[in-house]
Amino acid sequence: MDGLPTCAVSCLVQAIPSSNCSLTDIACICLDQQLSAQVQVCGLQSCSIKDNLRSERALYEICDYPVTVDNKVFPVLMYVGIVISAIVVSLRVAGRLIASSFGWDDAVSLLSMGTVIAVTVVGLLNAHYGLGKDLWFIPFNDITTILHLYYTIEALYVASIALSKMSMLLLYLRLFPDKRLRLILKLILAFTTAWGIAILFANIFACQPISYFWNMWDGEHKGKCLDAQQLLWAHAIINIVLDVVIVGLPMPALFKLNMSWKRKAWLVFMFSAGIVVTVISILRFIHSLTFDFLDNFTKTVVPVSIYSLLEVYLSIIVASLPGVRALLAYIHTAVNGKPSSYKYDYKYTGPSGASGAAATTTSLIPPPSAVRAGTFDVDAETAKGGEFIALEETRSQSRVDGYVDSRGASRAESRTRTRTRSESRSRSRARGMSQGRSESRATGQGRRVSKAWFD
Predicted local confidence at residue 455, as pLDDT:
36
Among 330, 350, 348, 349, CA closest to 340: 330
Rounded percentage of the chain residues whose pLDDT exceeds 90:
36
CB of 105 closer than 8 Å to CB of 170 = yes
Q: Which of 115, 109, 132, 136 is nearest to 3 (CA)?
A: 136
| DSSP assignments along 261-279, one per residue | HHHHHHHHHHHHTHHHHHH
In the chain, domain spans: 6-63, 73-336, 345-443
Helix (H, G, I), strand (E, B) or coil at 225: strand
CA distance 340 to 338: 6
Q: pLDDT digits over 26-60, tens only?
A: 889 889 888 888 998 999 888 999 999 999 999 89
The per-residue b/e assignment along 188-219, b for 16 or more CB within 10 angstroms, e otherwise, is bbeebeebbeebbebbeebbeeeeebbbbbee
DSSP 345-385: EEEEEEEE-TTSPEEEEEE----HHHHHHTSS-HHHHHTTT
Q: What single DSSP character describes residue 398?
A: T
First to last CA, the chain: 75
Residue 83 has pLDDT above 80, yes or no: yes
How does residue 407 score in pLDDT terms, banded at 50, 70 and 90? Answer: very low
Task: Report the C-alpha gap between 47 and 108 in whole angstroms.
Answer: 50
Minimum mean pLDDT range among 26-30, 64-68, 261-265, 402-406: 402-406
Please say whether the beta carbons of 202 and 158 come within 8 A.
no
Per 3-state DSSP, the chain is made up of helix, strand and coil in percentages (nearest 5) of 65, 5, 25
Sign of CA dihedral 437, 443, 445, 449: negative
pLDDT of residue 386: 38
Per-residue pLDDT at 367: 45
Helix (H) or strand (E) holding 296: none
pLDDT in tens, 429-439: 444 444 444 44
pLDDT tier for residue 363 given thresholds of 50, 70 and 90: very low
Query: For residues 118 and 393, which has the higher predicted lDDT (pLDDT)?
Result: 118
Identify any residues that bridge with 360 across adjacent strands, giving them in sequence order.
349
Cβ–Cβ < 8 Å for 114, 86:
no
What is the band of 230 on the pLDDT scale with cuts at 50, 70, 90? confident
pLDDT at 163: 95
**pLDDT mean across residues, the chain:** 76
The rounded distance, in Å, linking the Cα atoms of 77 and 361 is: 57
Q: What is the pLDDT of residue 2?
A: 66
Give per-residue pLDDT as tens, 234-255. 888 999 999 999 988 888 877 7
C-alpha span between 239 and 196 (Å, rounded): 9
Confidence band (pLDDT; 50, 70, 90) for 376?
Answer: very low
Q: What is the pLDDT of residue 454?
A: 31
> 3-class SS at 249?
coil
Binding residues for heme: 25
Q: Are strands 399-400 and 207-208 parallel, antiparallel or unpaired?
A: unpaired
Tell me the pLDDT tens digit for each residue of 280-334: 999 998 888 877 766 888 888 888 899 999 999 999 998 888 878 777 777 767 7
Q: What are phi and psi of 388, to 5 degrees?
A: -95, 120
Q: How far is CA 245 from CA 192, 223, 317, 440, in A?
A: 11, 39, 18, 49
Q: What fold characterizes domain 73-336?
A: Rhopdopsin 7-helix transmembrane proteins (1.20.1070)
Q: Residue 92: exposed, middle, or buried by beta-carbon count in 10 A (0-12, 13-18, 19+)?
A: buried
Helix count and strand count (H, E) for the chain: 19, 8
DSSP 79-130: HHHHHHHHHHHHHHHHHHHHTT---HHHHHHHHHHHHHHHHHHHHHHHHHHT
pLDDT of residue 348: 32
Output the pLDDT for position 390: 33
Nearest to 133 by CA among 297, 253, 368: 297
Residues of the binding site: 25
